[in-house]
Amino acid sequence: MKFLCYAMASAPPQAVHLRLLSSTLSSSSRRPRPPPSARRYRVAASAREMPWPHVLTVAGSDSGGGAGIQADIKACAALGAYCSSVVTAVTAQNTAGVQGIHVVPEEFIREQLNSVLSDMSVDVVKTGMLPSIGVVKVLCESLKKFPVKALVVDPVLVSTSGDTLSASSTLSVYRDELFAMADIVTPNVKEASRLLGDVSLRTVSDMRSAAESIYKFGPKYVLVKGGDMPESSDAIDVFFDGKEFIELHGHRIKTHNTHGTGCTLASCIASELAKGATMLHAVQVAKNFVETALHHSKDLIIGNGPQGPFDHLFKLKCPPYNVGSQPSFKADQLFLYAVTDSGMNKKWGRSIKESVRAAIEGGATIVQLREKDAETREFLEAAKACMEICKSSGVPLLINDRVDIALACKADGVHVGQSDMLAREVRELLGPGKIIGVSCKTPAQAQQAWNDGADYIGCGGVYPTSTKANNPTLGFEGLKTVCLASKLPVVAIGGINASNAGSVMELGLPNLKGVAVVSALFDRECVATETRNLRSILTNTCSRT
């Protein structure tokens, strides 16, 4: 493999076309521009009011299209961010490895950076292949001149095929200059090891120490990715914020199509940050995205080499992901969560559909079909009918326990408990666009729900209840402990009714977004009236507190 890094002054013939390209583009970009009055700006006022989250990737081109700039653009597009690009190197690459590298002259990298950063409002810069000390320095200078909201540094040192992508001399400038400006640095274990002088990293505890050492170079957060650690069923990454270590467990997908996962993960983090997410949330979304994309691409065959690319735009080919009535979950939707019960419906001679229609009429903000005794076919028919009602009212519909029913009726999500299917498996089946709720009674369960990519947790029983057998009562103390520990929004459940719902919300607990209710809505004569009454109690309480 050739690693060509030519200085402008002594460029051999292979580099000449780059110099020519550079000067051609430079001179055309310096062609006299029309005076401002004659220029037509295509950015309308409304576009300025609705900015598009913007990620600039500074990375190398992968001719095979699986990694580098190409992966970055696809990842940002998949997550709804605009992606501009500064090309640092052009690689001749395929699924077998890297056959050649042609480094773009530093001055032309500076020119690309200037072009983008001086004109467009870039939110986040994400770096990939930075082949030389000079390139890293040019980037640092540009970032000082044009500050952005966040900098995501993926220290691409060696390709997954084992080819060197950045001269070893860059290590010191990475550590001493770029890391200090970074919001997050995302090395895999091999890169972390090289950054730390080839220390051996074999265990999760080693990864923690590595994260701590890299943090000392100055980034605000470090994510050491454990995908390359020896075989285990989990892919564990270590996230460190300077105080706390969080182990993020992912499901290891058995596939050869992993080329470009690092670039994609960092670009997803950058996209989420550009949209305004917190760092931990951005990392979690990115991990889920990569895992889901690998799952959907596990049997693709592109190229003859050992490591193939994967499909970033898998969502376009998976209709169920696009048809939920509620593509993005908002925690406020947990405010009044109506959970149906087949026994109660039978007792009052109501169909599931009638119950759901009445709850929505009364002001339920989210509905769960908890039909423990229903036959599958009958349940599915009812669920499809409820989806129609919920879609037309903009209220999300979740299915209790039954992922199969949720998929078949294209529900907005699923709620699972501690003895149901694991949330991370539910996520794998439902994909990233759906809502997943998990019942949690302890901080550890709440942490696991977060790690598994859930959207909210249900916590209870807050009060004793006869609706769910053998369900321990947590009381206010238990609810408080879980709410304080949770990184996800929480809905309280268990024995909640019109006379105590106000007291639950008055606790003012962090993350507590609402109450989930079964019998106080559905074991009553008029579901709509009960729901309306409870909604007004909650609204009055929350407007006072």
Ligand X SMILES: Cc1ncsc1CCOP(=O)(O)O
* Residues annotated as catalytic (active site), given as ranges: 225, 258, 260-263
Question: Counting beta carbons within 10 angstroms of the beta carbon of residue 19, is it exposed (0 to 12), middle (13 to 18) or buried (19 or more)?
Answer: middle
CA 467/CA 470 separation, integer angstroms: 10
Q: Does 420 bind ligand LCLJCK34 (CB under 6 A)?
A: yes
Token duo for residue 97: 């490895």
Hey, which bits of 7-69 come out as E strands? 54-62
Nearest distance from residue 367's CB to ligand LCLJCK34, in Å? 11
Task: State the binding string over 483-522 for ligand X (x if CB under 6 A, else -).
Answer: ----------xxxx--------------------xxxx--
Contact with ligand LCLJCK34 (CB under 6 A): which of 54, 74, 110, 370? 370
Token duo for residue 209: 């120490």
Q: Does 416 bind ligand LCLJCK34 (CB under 6 A)?
A: yes
Query: Among 101-109, 124-132, 449-457, 466-474, which window interacts with ligand X (CB under 6 A)?
Result: 466-474
Q: Among candidates 398, 401, 277, which has minimal Cα distance to 326?
A: 398
CA 296/CA 306 separation, integer angstroms: 18
Q: Does 60 bind ligand LCLJCK34 (CB under 6 A)?
A: no
What number of H helices and E strands is found in the chain?
Answer: 22, 18
Query: Among 92-100, 195-203, 409-417, 502-510, which window interacts with ligand LCLJCK34 (CB under 6 A)?
Result: 409-417
Query: Among 99-107, 197-205, 266-274, 464-472, which window interacts with ligand X (CB under 6 A)?
Result: 464-472
Q: Among candidates 37, 101, 75, which has minimal Cα distance to 289?
A: 75
Residues 6 or more apart in contact with residue 492 via CB below 8 angstroms = 458, 459, 460, 462, 479, 504, 512, 514, 515, 516
379 to 438, contacts with Mg ion by CB under 5 A? 401, 417, 420
Q: Which long-range contacts (CB under 8 A, 24 or more apart) does 312-319 make?
A: 312/71, 312/74, 312/75, 312/77, 312/78, 312/264, 313/74, 313/77, 313/78, 315/78, 315/431, 315/432, 315/433, 318/431
Nearest distance from residue 331's CB to ligand X, in Å? 19
CA 88/CA 129 separation, integer angstroms: 7
Q: How many residues of this chain interact with ligand X, rule: CB under 6 A? A: 14
Query: Among 159-167, 226-234, 411-419, 447-455, which window interacts with ligand LCLJCK34 (CB under 6 A)?
Result: 411-419
Nearer to ligand LCLJCK34, 112 or 471 (CB): 471
Q: How many residues of this chain interact with ligand LCLJCK34, rule: CB under 6 A? A: 17
Residue 496 near which of ligand LCLJCK34, ligand X, Mg ion, none (CB within 5-8 Å, type-dependent): ligand X
Q: Among candidates 63, 188, 179, 193, which has minimal Cα distance to 130?
A: 179
Beta-ladder partners of 188 = 225
Task: State the binding string over 486-525 for ligand LCLJCK34 (x if CB under 6 A, else -).
Answer: -----x-x----------------------x---------
> Interface with Mg ion by CB under 5 A: which residues?
401, 417, 420
> Interface with ligand X by CB under 6 A: which residues?
460-461, 465, 467-468, 471, 493-496, 517-520
